[in-house]
Amino acid sequence: MSTNLLITPAAAAELGRQAAVAGTPGQMHLDLLDGSCETHVIRLQPGPMGGVPVARADGITLHAPAGQAGQLEGLCLDYRGDLSGGGFLVTARSGIRCCPCGSAFTRL
């Protein structure tokens, strides 16, 4: 795994929960779709779905298509939850602009 994608403990816990509910314990897949507010939007699904491992944290392995792995460099995947629900949020280092929606980004 050469991708420098970080997964926070909160995100790892929620990814692990979703993977277990879907019957793919410890395995989740991330792929990038065309975004409307920024260039890329992240989609998360249970299972490895033929991707390559791009990050591991707290018992969860996150896979992505090999051709998209480089786009994940410098991103951090977090999860925020409260009584009204929750969602995954993307934050980044400099050189990457993240949308306030939390799931989209553009490389500058």
For 19-29, how does the pLDDT look when each residue is reduced to its tens digit (9 = 90+)? Answer: 999 999 999 99
What's the total number of domains in the chain? Answer: 1
For the chain, 108 residues long, give each residue's pLDDT as a single digit of tens: 556 899 999 999 999 999 999 999 999 999 999 999 999 999 999 998 988 999 999 999 999 999 999 999 999 999 998 888 899 999 997 889 999 888 899 998
User: Residue 93: what pLDDT?
Assistant: 79
User: Residue 101: what pLDDT?
Assistant: 86
Helix H segments across 7-55?
9-22
Q: Is residue 43 part of a domain?
A: yes
Q: Is residue 34 part of a domain?
A: yes
- Cα distances (Å, whole numbers) of residue 80 to 10, 61, 102: 7, 19, 10
Domain with residue 96: its CATH number is 2.60.300.12
Domain containing 83: what range? 6-107
For CA atoms 17, 58, 102, 30, the dihedral sign is negative
User: Residue 85: what pLDDT?
Assistant: 86
CA distance 42 to 35: 9
